[in-house]
Structure formats: structure tokens, C-alpha cells
Structure 1
Amino acid sequence: MRAVDYDTEQHQDYARGRALGERQLRVWIDAFDAALPGRRPLAGLDVGSGTGRFTPALAEAFGPVVGVEPSVRMREVAQAQSRHPGVRYVPGAAEEIPVPSDSTDYALLGWSWHHVRDKPGAVRELARVLRPGGRLLLRTNFSDHHPRPWWLEHFPGGYEADASIFQPLHEVIALFTSAGWRVVGFGTVTEPSTGTRAAVLERLRLRTLSFFSQLGPDALETGFRRLEEAVAADPDSPAPVFDEPLLTLQWKPSGP
């Protein structure tokens, strides 16, 4: 996967390109709620928090949240547009989280695991900051459990190119369980439609998905031309929904 430098690309359009409506956000918060302990408040981490797409909603639902984001520009957007009294944004990454050990009840890695370069290091660091029994919400795609969004079919080799960004599920699970984690649950979340096909196309044109960084100019041009033709035939119909994977893990140190 080609690394995305969010300080030089995407940060200015990311919040708009990846915006969620209230219904979409509520579905995700409900899914996270079902995977977390019932007590409140919970101290949380949003690792790879970006422009704060989920961070304020996490704070509102569960308790104080630290948004950890390596990109200066993405943090600037979050601090300007996604403020909440229960949220603070800090520089850091999954491999280097600037919070004390055993200080956190849960961490969300939402749409960011594929950006983590040192995945074994991130597994160790997440174990360091989570309290025993803490939960990790890993919202990522897997190469063998790919949601196959409707628009990908219009790009040459689109499904294969997007799936190549991600690890297979068994590989991710093995990475965590070999380090002392256990799987709590795996399932899918069906996000309500994010609008009409035409509205989705307008957001896709901002190219705020990692997928678009993997394609050459010719494939991008061909894909958008095909997608525009398909959308023009029925622009006002709701965009099709699809199921997105959610893996929940628990940190449980070895010993008595």
C-alpha cells in the first residue's frame, strides 16, 4: 500500500469526504456500545482519530476520549471542527500512544489499522495503555472479508486493489492472540445509506479514501467516467448499503 501523507493531501477535504449523518453515526455508536463494558464513564482512545469523525460522539456516549493522530493538519481540522469538552487531541500513533500505562478502558482503531506500519509494535503499545480486560474495537476491512462497496465495481481491478490494502482476518487475529489478547467478537455492521448515488459520487470525487492512492491516473480516469455514467442513469436513488466488519479484542495479560 502506498502511504498517504495526510499533512500534504486529503486533510482539507477529509471531513467533508468522509462525513456521516446522524443515523450512520448512531448505528456505529450502538455497535461500539454493544461491544464495550456496561459501566460508565469509560476512558477511551480514538487511535488514528483524523479529523475527529467519531471522537466527540464517543465522548458523548461513553466518557472522556483522547484522540491520537500523527498528522498535524488532521489534528488542526479536528480541533477546529470536532471539539467537545470530553475530548482532547494529541500527536501520536498506534505504535506510540502518549498516555500512561493501564489508563484506558477501550481503544477504537477506526479505518486506520491499514495505515499502521509497525503492527506488532502497535499490538504491544495498545496492551500497555489498556487496563486489564480493556477492549479494542478494530474497525477495519480484511482482504478475505471485504465489504465490496457498490461503486468499486466501476474501477478497473477495483475490488482487488482495495482488498490488497488489508490483511486477512486470520492474520490479524493471530497477531493479537499470540501477544496475549483474546477475541471477544467478530461481526458486521450495516451502515444506513449515506445519501443518494449522486451525493456519494460528489464525496468520492474528493478522493479521501486510501483506495484512490493505490490507482494510477488511467485507472482513476476510467473508473470515475464509468461511475459517473452509472450514477447519471439513476442519480437520486439511495446509495446501496453494505456490511462492514468489526473485530473486538480484549487485553488479558498472562498470569494467575
Structure 2
Amino acid sequence: MVDYNGRLSSVYAAGREMTVDEVQRWTAAIQAYLPEERPLTILDLGSGTGRLTPGLAEEFGGPVYGVEPSDRMREIAETSAAHQAVTYLRGSAEKIPLPEASVDGVLMFLSFHHFRDQLKALQEVHRVLKPGGAAFLRSQFADLMPDLFWYDYFPSAREVDAGMYRTLDESKALAEAAGLRPGEGPVWVSTEPPRTLRESYDRLKHRALSTFEHLPEAEIERGFTQLAADADQEPDKDMPVYPAAILVLRRPN
């Protein structure tokens, strides 16, 4: 497990920041699977520093609940991502501090692989969703891993990342065991803006991805030394944009 009360909390905002446009693309991507009526109640499960939470309130009208187990990440969200329709709550995916059938949608944005008990977490998602409500599992899947350019600089990262995630079929089977109905998906969404090699290096250098918590320091140092040199040599080189996978889950009526 990764300690988000430590170093990661201090670098997360700088290394994982989203533009307003990027947040709006994400909220637009999930609104297609939710009712048109407003307001809708949304749960941001594993809300971290609140990158998306206020945007969910803007799109769906609130209330929006950001549930986050890391005290430090939640404190940052409360000061840097405050919104009148957002409430940040201490809790975990396995014990969501909300009543049964109280939310229209649940977003799990790159948080599922951090859940200690994924089946229990999905059972909790089923519990808090209203019948017919939708949950959005934004994750990587072990059998659909993108070939990220920076893996070339950190050779162990491919294996580390693949080991963090379940396959798509395993994820669907867990959802079904929890009483949720998975879509045929995943749905592929392109929301990330194009970046140059320099811009990519400037984000990665903060080591805000949990992958780096599992890599040897010597490999990290070598990789960033080479990446920095390449960014100096070709700063304006366009880097690939990777579509993101979302598995849509529903609580049956």
C-alpha cells in the first residue's frame, strides 16, 4: 500500500494537476450515463486532493461527497478544492460514510487499485448507489495496459504497473459478485491534452505516480537523468496521448 499522508501528498498537486478543460471533458464523458435531471448526488470515492470533485459539482449540481482515507490529501482538498456543493469526508471504500441508496453516481478515478478489499468496496458502492445508478471505474486493466513512453526510462515500471491492476474480466467478475452490472466496455475516453517531452518531464519529475514508490532508487535516478537529458535535447517533441479506460457499472433496478 502507498502512504498518501507522506511525500506523495506534497507533490501530488504539481505532478497530477488537471486543467479546467480536462476536468470538463471527464465530467462530460460520464454525464452521458447519468440522468439529465439536475441536481444529482455524486460520490467521488478516493477523491485525493479533489482534482475532479468541484468539477463534478459544477456539472451535476451537487451535493458531491469526496471520500478520502488520507487525512493529508483530504486537508489539501478542503483548502485548494473547496466548493459550496462539495463535502469531503473521512472514510474508505470499504466503509463509505453515506446512507444506502443515497447517490446517483460514483466515480472511482484511479483509486480502485488502492482499495484494500476490492470486493467489499464494490459491495459498498452497490449499497450507496440508488437503484439504476451508475458507477464509473476509471482504472488500468492488466490486459489492456498502455505502452507509456516513460516505461523506456524505468524498465521495472511495466511489470510494477501490470501487477497493480486486475484484468478487465477479473474486474467485471468482482463487480458482478458485488451485485453490480458491468457494461460491455470498457469505454475509451480521450481527455488528456497533448504535451511536449519537456512538459511531460516537468510533470513526471515530481514522482507523483504511485508506480515510483515501488521502483529501486538507483533505477529512478538513472531514468530521470536520461529523461532530463532527452528533454533538454528535444524539448518540443510531441508525446503520444493515451486514451483512458472506464468500466461503467450499474446497480440494477
TM-score interval, smaller chain: over 0.9
Instruction: Pick one of 10, 14, 39 that aligns with 1:12.
Output: 10
Q: Please, what is the CA RMSD of the aligned residues?
A: 1.5
2:148 & 2:28 partners in 1: Cα distance? Answer: 22
2:237 & 2:56 partners in 1: Cα distance? Answer: 31
Q: Which residue of 2 aligns with 1:152?
A: 151
Q: Is the 8 A contact 1:43 1:106 kept in 2?
A: yes
2:76 & 2:178 partners in 1: Cα distance? Answer: 35
Shift in Å, 1:194: 5.2
> For 2:159, what is the secondary structure of its paired residue?
helix
Q: Which residue of 2 aligns with 1:130?
A: 129
Counterpart of 1:107, as a letter, is V
Q: Which residue of 2 aligns with 1:203?
A: 203
> For 2:6, what is the secondary structure of its paired residue?
coil
Q: Which residue of 2 aligns with 1:45?
A: 43
> For 1:97, what is the secondary structure of its paired residue?
coil
1:173 & 1:156 partners in 2: Cα distance? Answer: 29
Q: Which residue of 2 aligns with 1:117?
A: 116
For the pair 1:143 / 2:142, whether they are aligned, the reply is: yes
Shift in Å, 1:142: 0.7
Q: Is the 8 A contact 1:147 1:245 kept in 2?
A: no
Q: Which residue of 2 aligns with 1:71?
A: 70
Q: Is the 8 A contact 1:135 1:249 kept in 2?
A: yes
Q: Which moved more, 1:162-171 or 1:145-154?
A: 145-154
Instruction: Pick one of 59, 62, 76 that aligns with 1:61.
Output: 59
Q: Which moved more, 1:52-61 or 1:191-200?
A: 191-200
> For 2:36, what is the secondary structure of its paired residue?
coil
> For 2:224, what is the secondary structure of its paired residue?
helix
Shift in Å, 1:155: 1.0
2:33 & 2:163 partners in 1: Cα distance? Answer: 28
Shift in Å, 1:159: 1.9
> For 2:74, what is the secondary structure of its paired residue?
helix
Instruction: Pick one of 32, 35, 43 that aligns with 1:34.
Output: 32
Percent of residue pairs bearing the same amino acid type: 41
Q: Is the 8 A contact 2:154 2:219 kept in 1?
A: yes
For the pair 1:217 / 2:223, whether they are aligned, the reply is: no
TM-score under structure 2 normalisation? 0.94
Equivalent pairs, count: 251
1:37 & 1:152 partners in 2: Cα distance? Answer: 39
2:86 & 2:172 partners in 1: Cα distance? Answer: 30
CA deviation digits over 1:52-106, x for unaligned, max 9? 0000000000122000000111011001100111101010011011011111111
Gap regions ≥5 residues in structure 2: none
Q: Which moved more, 1:61-70 or 1:24-33?
A: 24-33
Q: Is the 8 A contact 2:123 2:179 kept in 1?
A: no
Q: Is the 8 A contact 1:24 1:194 kept in 2?
A: no
Q: Which residue of 1 aligns with 2:230?
A: 230
> For 1:46, what is the secondary structure of its paired residue?
strand
CA deviation digits over 1:29-60, x for unaligned, max 9? 21111222222211000000000000000000
Q: Which residue of 1 aligns with 2:21?
A: 23
Q: Is the 8 A contact 1:161 1:211 kept in 2?
A: yes
> For 2:130, what is the secondary structure of its paired residue?
strand
| Matching of residues 184-203 of structure 1 within 5 Å | 184=183, 185-193=185-193, 195-203=195-203
Q: Is the 8 A contact 1:188 1:246 kept in 2?
A: yes
| Greater than 6 Å deviation, 4+ residue runs | none
Q: Is the 8 A contact 2:180 2:250 kept in 1?
A: yes
> For 2:49, what is the secondary structure of its paired residue?
coil
2:31 & 2:197 partners in 1: Cα distance? Answer: 30
Counterpart of 1:230, as a letter, is D
